[in-house]
Structure formats: C-alpha cells, structure tokens
Chain A
Amino acid sequence: MKNPCRLTPFLLIILLLFTLPTISRSQVVAPAIDSIIQANALSSGNNKDVLSRFFQLAFGDLTGPSKTLSLTGNPYALMLKKNPLLSIDKYYSRYQPLRRSNFNFGLKVDSNYKFNGFTSGLKYAIVDQTDATTSKFVAWSLKKDPVHLERKVLVEKLRVYAENIGDINKKVAFVQATNAFLQTANTPYSKLDPDFRQVIDIIIQENGLNKLGDVLHNAPDQPLRIHDSLSFANLSQAIKSDWLWTLSVADTTYRDKFQFASINLRTDVIKGLGQHAKGQNSFELNADMIYNFSTDSLKSARNLDRQILSGEIGLNWVVRSAFTDKSYFEFKLSGSYSGIVSHTSPFDSQTDMITLNATARIRVYADIWVPVEIKYDPNTGNVFGLLNVKANFTALESILKGGKTGGVAQ
C-alpha cells in the first residue's frame, strides 16, 4: 500500500468543496426532501453503489496506479434541491425516469497525481422494487391496515361527538385534544385526560374496534405517532430486499484529447435474500456483467477494438445496527470471470481470468463508506487490492450542521 496519508488533505478539500454549496441551498429545502432521504436510509452500501438516490462522491483505487475521483448524482435530486415543489406527487410521478437515473463524471489521476483523463457515465434502473415511495405494496398495506381502518371509524365518531358539544370553547379544547392524541409523539393513551380517554374507550367498545383497542391497551405509553413510524419502517424494510436492476454506460477519455479511451456497457442486479427483522443481519445477491471496449495496442491509431466480457456474482453479508437497522459493516464474497472477446494481443498473458474477490465495506461515519476490495487469481496466485472511499453529500451536510445523523443519511 502506498502512503495513503498523502491523500488526506486532498480528500478533505474535495469533500468540503462539493459539500458547501449543498449546505447553503438546504435552508430553503422543504421537509419533504428529508422524508425522501429517509426512505432510503436503510439501504445497504452495496445497494447505494448500484443506484445512488442522491449524491455519492467516490475516490477509487486510492493506492493503485490509476486513481479516480468521481461524482455520482441523481438528476431528480439535483432538481429537487433547486425546486422543492418537484416533490409534489404529480411531478414525482412525471420525473420517475430522472429519479431512476444516475449521472457520473470524474477524473483519473496517475500514481503521481497527474491528470490522466476524464470519466463519465449514465445509469438507469430498469426495475426498482426497493423504493417505498412508489411501492404499490406499501401504499396498499397502509390503506388496508386493520388498525388504520379502525382509526378511521374512531375519527368519525370523535367528529360526531365534538359536533354535539354546545360550548365553543369546550369544542375547541376537544378538537385540540383529539389532534394531539392522533398526531403527536408526546401524547400517549396513558397520559390522556381521563374524561377524554373515557370517550375513546366507549367509542372503541361500542364499535368493536378491537385491533385499535389492543394497540392502545397493550402499549399505553406509546403514542400513536410512534406506532405509525414503527409500522412504516417495517413496511419499508419489507421491500428493501426486492429487485433492483440497472443498465449503464460509462466511458473514459485520453488525457490529451477528448476522445474515448474505453467504453463500458454494464448491467447490475441486486436482490435481498429473505426477509429480516429490524436489526437483524441480512444477505444480498449481487451480480453484474460488463462489456468493455478499449484500445487494441497492436494498432498504431487510437481505437476501441479490444473487447472484454466480464461478470461477477457474489453474496453480500450486511451487518446492521440492532437499534437503527442501518448497515455499518458489509462483507461480499464473489467470483468473477473476465475474457477477451476480440483482438487478442500477444502481450496478454491469458485470455480468460477467473478471480475470487472479497470486499469489505465499513461505514466510518454517517454515510461515508470505505470499501476495501481484494482480488485473488487462483491461476497465477496474484492478489490485487483496491482501496476506495465513498461518501454522500447529505451525510456530510449533517456532520457540518452539528452531527445529526439520524434521519438524513442516504
């Protein structure tokens, strides 16, 4: 490993440069954006590498001869920062293709930190069943939840009860008590005014609202607002293991001319295995296939005639916090194949290569990840190592705001 300490000031400066504009704009961003961010808070780092919902700054191959600094962004997230009104449902639907897209651009430097060309790319999620905000399953489950249906009855009965209160001041007080009970996180059933609680109990009893009665009587100190949060978190979690399939195209240029040095066509699939309860570790299946066009060195002119097909399939073990359910450590074991499809150069020592890979991702803070990748070639016995750093802007924003990491991490 070459001296990674040399990189530290460089990394910090770049992180700050990209973060500061985001902080100033955040003052005008509606709370709705936070909720969209939270919807993705429980995704694994591996999942975010496949599709970024917001922004990801990545430093690739830090100890290798070809280092990269790249920014991956979601165009919808960028537009939302500019105009929070785009989170309104009709626009949210209209911009679905943009929400499912990622753009990427960056630059390459050599081992002496000299510019070595640009990189850019586009990615689109053909299938994304992991998004709670658009999931029909989540919406249907919310509408058909038995406690939800009984609460509708309770609200209607409370409305009729309130209508019959003669004194306007008492009526207002009753409405305020009702809203506090139904909506706030500090008014549990156990702390209700006894007279108001009696009204609730009578309505529950007379209308057979048994599911709601169980919720209130079994956890009297838990406000309904908290019950809602926990239920929704469970629902969101239930779809996190569904399918995510992306297609992408990426390119790199030569350092002296804006001309493609290589082009990658790539597809990625990620699927959680089974369901897991909050805080339980889980597994993800991850596969990708890449068709690469690069320069055939036998030819004098610049070209893209050397073509390589490669693929990788692996299993990612996600270790989650028992309290927040967020992943903080991941370990992926995978096998990969790489084969030259055309224009084999005599300098290629072998046309096919199979490697065994291990990638460890460590969440060092909020959503700053350090993936360390080790590749082992059983044929030659060679071992290659890659050290990367990946961070997203919302996490950095929270750090600079004072360390609030709970709901804003991507």
Chain B
Amino acid sequence: MANKKSIANEIKIQLGQLTLNSKQQQKLQKGIHAVLVKVLSAPTKDPAPVLNGKTATLHVVFTGTIPGNSELTANFNGTEQTLTESGDLVFEGLITGSIISITGSSPGTTIVTIDIKADPASMTFAPGQDINGLFIILE
C-alpha cells in the first residue's frame, strides 16, 4: 500500500545525460510542483449547455450603399448581434412564439429574410427608413 501511495504523489522524470546538484533538483521540483498545483486545481469546465429549440438565420442584404454605412441589430431573448454590412445572423434555441427584434438604419435598401417559418417571412426597408420590426417564430 505504501508503495502505491508513493506512486500516487510522485513523478519520475528521466533526465538522460543531465546531472543536477541538490540545489538544482530542489529548484526543478519546486517549479514542477507549482505548475502542477495550478493545472490540477483549475476548475473543470462545464460541458456546453445543449440548446433546445430551433436555429434561425436572418439573411440581411443592404443594397445601394457601401459597407459600414448601414447597421442592423437583431435581439433574441436579450442576446444582441449586429451587422454593418450584408451577412447572416444566427440565433439558436428558438421555439414557437419566440420573437426576434431588428433595429437599425441604412441609406440604402435593406432586405431581411428569416429561414424558418415566421411572421413575417421577410421585411424590406426603403433608403433612410428606420429599420424596426419583430419576427415571431411559428414552428
């Protein structure tokens, strides 16, 4: 038992040709010990939460203007995502009745479509029109 115990709290390192004096041995042991304590005492990460529900992608297209002149922020359940040029925004964990809001502005035309069943399925905003709207998920 005593032998097993000593194995549990000891590490043997083969140094090959290297010969250390007692001071160097102590320094090395101290360093290794400090690193091990740090690594082993770190809290283990919780597994990523598994989201129930569906994933929705908002396809945002800004036309008739240049990247950076437009801005669109979508918000689902307090989580905000923003685009300043055409692109996609992905939200997860949506269920029937979930609502995504969109706000923003653009000197060009803005077209926003959602890829799952929702009301409305898409919104179009004229140049200069405030981008304001709500999508409600229906599936």
- A217 to B138 alpha-carbon distance, docked (Å): 34
- A155 to B101 alpha-carbon distance, docked (Å): 7
Interfacial chain B residues near A142, Cβ < 8 Å: 105-107, 128
Interfacial chain B residues near A92, Cβ < 8 Å: 63-66, 108
Q: Please tell me which one of the listed residues B101, B128, B135 contacts residue A229 in the complex, with CB atoms under 8 A apart.
A: B128
Min CB distance, A146 to chain B, in Å?
12
A36-B64, A96-B66 known; A172+B127 contact, CB < 8 A:
no
- A134 to B69 alpha-carbon distance, docked (Å): 7
* Interface segment, one of A64-72, A110-118, A174-182, A299-307: A174-182
Q: Does B93 contact A (CB under 8 A)?
A: no
Q: Please tell me which one of the listed residues B63, B106, B125 contacts residue A30 in the complex, with CB atoms under 8 A apart.
A: B63
B134 and A89 form a contact (CB under 8 A): no
* Interface segment, one of A19-27, A157-165, A186-194, A319-327: A157-165
Q: Chain B, 51-79, contact with A by CB distance < 8 Å: what is the 0/1 string?
A: 00000000001111111111101010100
B66 and A134 form a contact (CB under 8 A): yes
- A158 to B62 alpha-carbon distance, docked (Å): 25
Interfacial chain A residues near B98, Cβ < 8 Å: 163
Interfacial chain A residues near B86, Cβ < 8 Å: 88-90
Min CB distance, A60 to chain B, in Å?
32
- A35 to B110 alpha-carbon distance, docked (Å): 11
A162 and B75 form a contact (CB under 8 A): no
> Interface residues of A toward B: which range?
35 or more
- A87 to B63 alpha-carbon distance, docked (Å): 5
A93-B67, A183-B133 known; A35+B127 contact, CB < 8 A:
yes
Interfacial chain B residues near A158, Cβ < 8 Å: 101, 134
- A73 to B39 alpha-carbon distance, docked (Å): 69
Q: Which residue of B lies closest to A39 (CB)?
A: B127
Min CB distance, A370 to chain B, in Å?
30
Q: Does A48 contact B (CB under 8 A)?
A: no
Which A1-52 residues sit within 8 Å CB-CB of chain B? Answer: 30-33, 35-36, 38-39
Q: Does A266 contact B (CB under 8 A)?
A: no
Tell me the dominant secondary structure on chain A's binding face.
helix
Min CB distance, B131 to chain A, in Å?
9
Which B85-139 residues sit within 8 Å CB-CB of chain A? Answer: 85-86, 96-103, 105-109, 119-120, 123-130, 132-136, 138
Interfacial chain A residues near B96, Cβ < 8 Å: 168
Q: Which residue of A lies closest to B64 (CB)?
A: A36
Min CB distance, B99 to chain A, in Å?
5
Q: Does A342 contact B (CB under 8 A)?
A: no
Which A327-377 residues sit within 8 Å CB-CB of chain B? Answer: none
B130 and A228 form a contact (CB under 8 A): yes
B69 and A88 form a contact (CB under 8 A): no
Interfacial chain B residues near A162, Cβ < 8 Å: 99, 134, 136
- A132 to B66 alpha-carbon distance, docked (Å): 11
Min CB distance, B100 to chain A, in Å?
8
A182 and B133 form a contact (CB under 8 A): yes
A179 and B109 form a contact (CB under 8 A): no
A139 and B70 form a contact (CB under 8 A): yes
Q: Does A83 contact B (CB under 8 A)?
A: no
Q: Please tell me which one of the listed residues A88, A159, A224 contacts residue B63 in the complex, with CB atoms under 8 A apart.
A: A88
Interfacial chain B residues near A33, Cβ < 8 Å: 64
Min CB distance, A85 to chain B, in Å?
9
8 shortest interchain CB distances as A-B pairs: A232-B128, A139-B69, A32-B63, A159-B101, A142-B105, A182-B132, A87-B63, A93-B66
CB pairs A–B below 8 angstroms (21 shown): A31-B109, A33-B64, A88-B61, A89-B70, A90-B67, A90-B85, A132-B127, A135-B107, A139-B106, A152-B103, A155-B134, A159-B99, A162-B99, A175-B134, A179-B120, A179-B134, A183-B125, A183-B132, A228-B128, A228-B130, A233-B128
B residues bordering A, Cβ < 8 Å?
61-71, 73, 75, 77, 85-86, 96-103, 105-109, 119-120, 123-130, 132-136, 138
A87-B63, A156-B101 given. 17 additional CB < 8 A pairs? Answer: A31-B109, A87-B64, A88-B63, A92-B64, A132-B107, A133-B107, A134-B65, A136-B69, A139-B70, A148-B105, A148-B130, A155-B103, A171-B97, A171-B136, A179-B134, A182-B133, A229-B129
